[in-house]
Amino acid sequence: MKRLLVAAILLASPRPHAASLPTLYTLHCSGCHGAAGHGVPERGIPDLHDAGLYAGLPAGRAYLAQVPGLTQSRLDNPTAARMLNYVLTHFSADNLPADFHPYTTAEIATLRGQTVSDAPTRRQALLAAIEGKKPR
């Protein structure tokens, strides 16, 4: 399932000559999050394997698309959408909600255009909300 999703997203590339998502990940994201997506959590760089957890909350879905690493990257909106879908399905498929639907270019464009409060504060609030939702 996870492989199928990744393959579908890779094949959906609108521009045949555009760099592949793994290559773009290496260029734009791996410097912080690492080649294998594990980040450096003790230094505040999240492990992308956990990122899918946020997608289950509306505020978390927005947060994922509004992290500075993505919004301030040089990726255009269609590519940013595909990149976010790629990292979520590639690294965090196990944590994605069953009803996860991929980000669209329009959704990314809207979220990217919003002025938001700082990512670490939002992240803390979301983690508390996710923790509160877990069955005890």
Q: Give the residues lining the site for ligand HEC (CB under 6 A).
A: 28-29, 31-33, 44-46, 48, 50-51, 64, 67-70, 73, 75, 83-84, 87, 119-120, 123
Which amino acid is present at 80? A
Cβ contacts of 125 within 8 Å, gap of 6 or more: 59
Q: Minimum Å distance from CB 37 to ligand HEC?
A: 9
**Rounded Cα distance, 58 and 103, in Å:** 12
Which residue, 83 or 111, has its beta carbon nearer to ligand HEC? Answer: 83
**Rounded Cα distance, 35 and 88, in Å:** 14
Select the residue whose beta carbon is closest to ligand HEC and give its number: 69
Q: Minimum Å distance from CB 16 to ligand HEC?
A: 21
Give the number of other Cβ atoms within 10 Å of residue 88's Cβ: 23
**Rounded Cα distance, 136 and 134, in Å:** 6
Which residue, 68 or 113, has its beta carbon nearer to ligand HEC? Answer: 68
Q: Minimum Å distance from CB 3 to ligand HEC?
A: 20
